[in-house]
């Protein structure tokens, strides 16, 4: 009976789920992407979140993104954080404090894409069109820099490194 059903379904429809999976899995630009989850949805000011990745092609420009997942109950409209990019020797090659809005300042509406339920995903550029000086291992360290020791309703943070 299964054979009969498959013969009546056009090939284009039968293979559509396979093609969708194949194309969604292709992400040639991505070099690295990872998230770190927080217990109890709290990011401590003392907690440094570290990501390690490898750069092979120094002639290629890259964009590094800061990814954050927060709930609708996040108490602020923005977030301040610092980042440090260190090379394989531990030398800091880039460092900066940045502010990003997670909610609209006047309306309080979340700006990110709804991930599920009351969880929202945001992605912000940290470094754009960046060229690494040397091939090798790098670390990007993130800290929250708000006026709270524990920043509530932060589910996870991450980074994405992609080729331009």
| 16: number of Cβ within 10 Å | 11
Is 126 part of a structural domain of the chain? yes
Per-residue model confidence as pLDDT tens digits over 13-58: 444 444 444 444 568 999 999 999 999 999 999 999 999 999 999 9
Q: pLDDT value at position 40?
A: 95
Number of separate domains in the chain:
1
Is 130 part of a structural domain of the chain? yes
Q: Is-contact 70 112, C-beta < 8 A?
A: yes
Is 15 part of a structural domain of the chain? no
% of residues, the chain, pLDDT over 90: 79
Is 23 part of a structural domain of the chain? no
Is 10 part of a structural domain of the chain? no
Is 88 part of a structural domain of the chain? yes
Task: Give the predicted TM-score (pTM) of the model.
Answer: 0.82
Read off the pLDDT of each residue in 118-144 and give the average, rounded to a whole number: 97
Residues spanned by the domain of 119? 30-163
Q: What is the CATH number of the domain that holds 111?
A: 2.60.120.380
Per-residue model confidence as pLDDT tens digits over 96-110: 999 999 999 999 999
Helices (H), the chain: 2-8, 11-14, 16-25
- With 0-12 / 13-18 / 19 or more C-beta atoms within 10 angstroms meaning exposed / middle / buried, residue 157 is buried
Is 150 part of a structural domain of the chain? yes
CB burial of 112-130 (b: ≥16 within 10 Å; e: otherwise) equals beeeeeebbbbebebbeeb
28 or 2, which is more confident: 28
């Amino acid at each position: 009976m299964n054979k009969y059903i498959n013969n009546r379904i056009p090939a284009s429809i039968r293979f559509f789920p396979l093609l969708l999976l194949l194309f969604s899995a292709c992400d040639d630009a991505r070099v690295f992407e990872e998230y770190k989850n927080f217990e109890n949805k709290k990011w401590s000011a003392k907690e440094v979140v570290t990501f390690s990745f490898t750069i092979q092609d120094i002639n290629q420009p890259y964009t590094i993104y800061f990814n954050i997942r927060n709930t609708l109950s996040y108490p602020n409209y923005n977030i301040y954080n610092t980042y440090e990019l260190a090379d394989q020797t531990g030398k800091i090659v880039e460092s900066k404090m940045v502010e990003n809005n997670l909610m609209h300042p006047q309306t309080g509406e979340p700006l990110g894409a709804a991930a599920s339920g009351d969880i929202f995903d945001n992605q912000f550029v940290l470094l754009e069109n960046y060229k690494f000086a040397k091939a090798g291992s790098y670390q990007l360290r993130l800290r929250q820099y708000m006026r709270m020791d524990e920043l509530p309703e932060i589910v996870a943070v991450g980074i994405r490194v992609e080729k331009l």
